[in-house]
Structure 1
């Protein structure tokens, strides 16, 4: 899907590809990815990096934003206005973001993802690019199914992957910006059926 995005539109898909990658590899909400600035990114030449999230750019009607724009800056969801969240990112995402910055630079305010005129990508445009990418990457039956229906599903895939990889729930919740109770409720199906894996870990701990 992330490769297919780069074929959507003349240039828009390529300009958005790293934004979608942030949703999958770092579990960012779409509004968190839209508000990401270069100053928020620790992107070493090798190894793991990190994103320090502090602002989001959710989309709403212009009449209801302070700036009069479709996207207004806000604090992180479920946190007070000055709170931040640090998310470790894999070397693969580090490389993707470094390449994106090399190719497209950043906006005047440091935002990584914006249109040619510096505006935040409208939600309708993001959805259109994602819809087109689905038609390229998936079979007709898969396109008709709920599979990866929305860009937000990339975040769900990230959190599910972390849980299925055996990352402890409090750590996953911290990275995703969830409370542990909400995380376990929303992603309960990812945790079900792991009894054998848990028994193996316990047995290994008892015998070492």
Structure 2
């Protein structure tokens, strides 16, 4: 998907229960040949859903809450997700939680998207990543859907490819925005007004 205003509202302002609800459709599994049996995923799992079967970690899908801690701490790429099948539902739930976080504050919030140092993966992974496009700038809006749509359009305009093409082609970041527009979170239409243009400096 995309980590913009909608994600920051929906995931960033959600309660722990809300975060779990959003991730409930995202369940990881262990790619056994890549697992070294180090046990880091077991130590970090908040629900004790991971155990060892011989030298390989195994995730109990019935207990797993889909929080992603195991993915974050595995340095061997053994934790896998089927992002395509679970991403659509996650993005829709994120938009719904975003709406819930601002429904009674619409006239009191403004959004800023810093479209700089854009990377392939979420910065929550805690690893230094190479930017996938040149820095574009900072956007501001009272509409979280419009600012994210403008950000996507500018990325494609400046990068020559869509965000999905530059990162994960199987993930469509428009799902969260289209769903957000459908439920009243914001509008897909926008007017882009440039305050300062330093592209020729």
Query: Same fold per TM (> 0.5)?
Result: no
With the shorter chain as reference, the TM-score category is under 0.3
Determine which structure has the larger strand proportion and give its number: 2
**Larger fraction in helix:** 1
Q: What's the TM-score, normalizing by structure 2?
A: 0.28
TM-score by length of 1: 0.27
